[in-house]
Structure 1
Amino acid sequence: MTTGQGTLPRQTRFTDGARFRIEIPSCEGPDVFKAVLSEAAEHDIRIDRISQGSGIMMLTDTEIREMVRLGAEHHIEVNLFLGPRGGWDIGAQAATTGSAAGVARGSQAVEACVAEAGRAVGLGIRSLLVADLGVLSVLGELKAAGELPAELALKTSVLLPLPNASTGAVYERLGATSLNASTDLTTAQLAQLRTACTAALDVYVEVPDDQGGFVRYYDVPEIVREAAPVHLKLGVRNAPNLYPCGRHLLALATDLGRERVRRAALMLRLLTELAPELAERPDPVTPPADLAVPAP
């Protein structure tokens, strides 16, 4: 019997030689993106990826184009969430179990997600956040057929549970290029994922309350050792849910974006203190091949 483990050579770095990258989630539009860039400059840290959670359908074309411009200018991957999703739909299951929050209910919802993917790609986005297994499979097939760009990154959402190596191997076979691990995995369990998958792992260091609320700063050296190449994600505990975001929540979204960057600075300080050999990372002049920077 196979468990999906131990069949692949272990990849420990991104193509530029970095063991880890920094992701700032819940970057809900260009204004929040600009605030994240400003805070990163203040703390003198490099952000590699921002991700958005409200969904492509909650952004205007002008807003997406501006996020594309900012990402391209600063060599930052811009990852946008596909929708619609079950948690906002008329079905009752998502109201009783969080595991259904990201599903695409019915064929029409799958088609809508694919349409949103095409819209975002047409505006220059090269990284999509996927929360439904069927949608992931369809997008993977479209990439293989040349109907979506070969360089398009497909990142699985924390709403698509990834609790073990066998599941991770399935997601990767369906086309995932970046895998969001379940937030409650031990470092040993993250190591098992790494053994089974070649895709980068995405691991929350501080977890939003609705995904567990864990605070794992002192685990970061071991996470980097065991899960590299890994995107270290900074949520904020004790913060309200922003989705779907809009102008009515812009001040809060901006403050939280800045605070996530501050949390990243705290994480890097501690990593440098505890494991300086792991804290070092290159500063490439051009974006590395495996960073899905937008294409204006």
Structure 2
Amino acid sequence: MTDASASSPRRPGEQALAALGLAAPALSPTDASGRCFPDGGTWRTEVPSVEGPEALDVVLKESAQLDVPIHRISQGSGVWMLTDTEITDMVDACAERDIELCLFTGPRGTWDIGASTRTESGGGGLRARGHDAVAGSLEDAVRATGLGVKCLLVADEGVLWSLHRLRSAGVIPADTTFKVSALIGPVNPASYAVFEQLGADSINIPSDLTLAHLTEIRRVSAAPMDLYIEAPDDLGGYVRMYEAAELIRRGAPIYLKFGLSKSPGIYPYGAQLRDRTLDTARERVRRGRLALDLLARHGADGGMSPLGSRLPGSLNRFTVSPSTEKD
């Protein structure tokens, strides 16, 4: 495919509006990201909230039927909510199709005994409360990577830095990637750059950031961006499909996440949520097909990374103390 930044996609309603004398101002080339993944692509795809082998099977079958390319599949309940056999089954199924599997590291503040997360302020949110929660997250990481998982979802800055140090020391594989959760996602370029320095390989920004905010972030950081083009209700329920081409132009390298609004939460997943989880997994793939069709209609579907691509390229990091590096 060709690089989307080099093409001239049609903007939504462009000809119709021009006929009415309402043509939009020309796009400024200074707004464009100008960055890409190491494979030369500007965008990849992700299906989130795939909570176990059964949901994964639904996603894989639906993506084959609807011809939806998938680079990454992520899970939100956590490593600790899966058995070794379930993790291995998911690893094997994704490996067969050259898809990156990302599992959440766990304990997190919203599920422990801390009452502040239930106040109007939200307290510390998903962050790991206390030493034991950090230890549990690292335990999840060691266990998951030992079973073949190559991507870990993180919702705490201290956990992220600790995992990056473990990666630098060789405790977990060097090609493990860390993805920052949307629920602690940065909202300005300075904080985005800090997450990159702490070891993040892709960073989920909140879906309510403006196009100008994406441009501001891209001026300071090359770390891949994750963005729900349809956000779950607990993240605002925003639907930004018609902006997909411009999100790519400004945010590249970017993962387009196919979320689902107007749908109840499913974390932490269990059998009591089976039907809802399978139905929403299927619909997320369909939403992906709608987004890809829209890009194609606008001539903006070029520049997708080759399937199987997962690494972020060279990124800026804080210096890791030699005492934590492998001898």
Aligned to 1:43: 66
CA distance in 1, matches of 2:123, 2:238: 18
CA distance in 2, matches of 1:236, 1:115: 31
Name the SS of the counterpart of 2:219 in structure 1. Answer: helix
**Is 1:238–2:268 an aligned residue pair?**
no
The 3 A distance-change label for structure 1 pair 106 and 283 is closer
CA distance in 2, matches of 1:72, 1:116: 20
The question of whether the paired residues in 2 share the 8 Å contact of 1:18 and 1:229 is answered with yes
Matches of residues 115-264 of structure 1 in structure 2 within 5 Å? 115-264=139-288
User: Number of aligned pairs?
Assistant: 280
Please tell me the residue identity of whatever aligns with 2:288.
A
The question of whether the paired residues in 2 share the 8 Å contact of 1:13 and 1:228 is answered with yes
Q: Which runs of 5+ in 1 are unaligned?
A: 1-9
The question of whether the paired residues in 2 share the 8 Å contact of 1:86 and 1:104 is answered with yes
How far is the alpha carbon of 1:100 from its aligned partner?
Answer: 2.5
Give the alignment's TM-score, normalised by structure 2: 0.82
Task: Indicate the RMSD between aligned Cα atoms, in angstroms.
Answer: 1.6
Aligned to 2:100: 77
How far is the alpha carbon of 1:277 from its aligned partner?
Answer: 4.1
The 3 A distance-change label for structure 1 pair 93 and 31 is same
Name the SS of the counterpart of 1:78 in structure 2. Answer: strand
CA distance in 1, matches of 2:269, 2:209: 29
Please tell me the residue identity of whatever aligns with 1:28.
E
The question of whether the paired residues in 2 share the 8 Å contact of 1:187 and 1:226 is answered with yes
Aligned to 2:46: 23
Q: 2:309 pairs with 279, 288, 294, which one?
A: 288
The 3 A distance-change label for structure 1 pair 208 and 282 is closer
Please tell me the residue identity of whatever aligns with 1:273.
R
Higher-Rg structure is 2
Matches of residues 75-114 of structure 1 in structure 2 within 5 Å? 75-96=98-119, 97-98=121-122, 100-114=124-138
The question of whether the paired residues in 1 share the 8 Å contact of 2:71 and 2:100 is answered with yes
Give the alignment's TM-score, normalised by structure 1: 0.91
How far is the alpha carbon of 1:131 from its aligned partner?
Answer: 0.1
The question of whether the paired residues in 1 share the 8 Å contact of 2:71 and 2:310 is answered with no
The 3 A distance-change label for structure 1 pair 273 and 54 is same
Residues 108-132 of structure 1 deviation map (CA, whole Å, 9 limit, x = unaligned): 1101100010000000001000001
The question of whether the paired residues in 2 share the 8 Å contact of 1:77 and 1:291 is answered with no
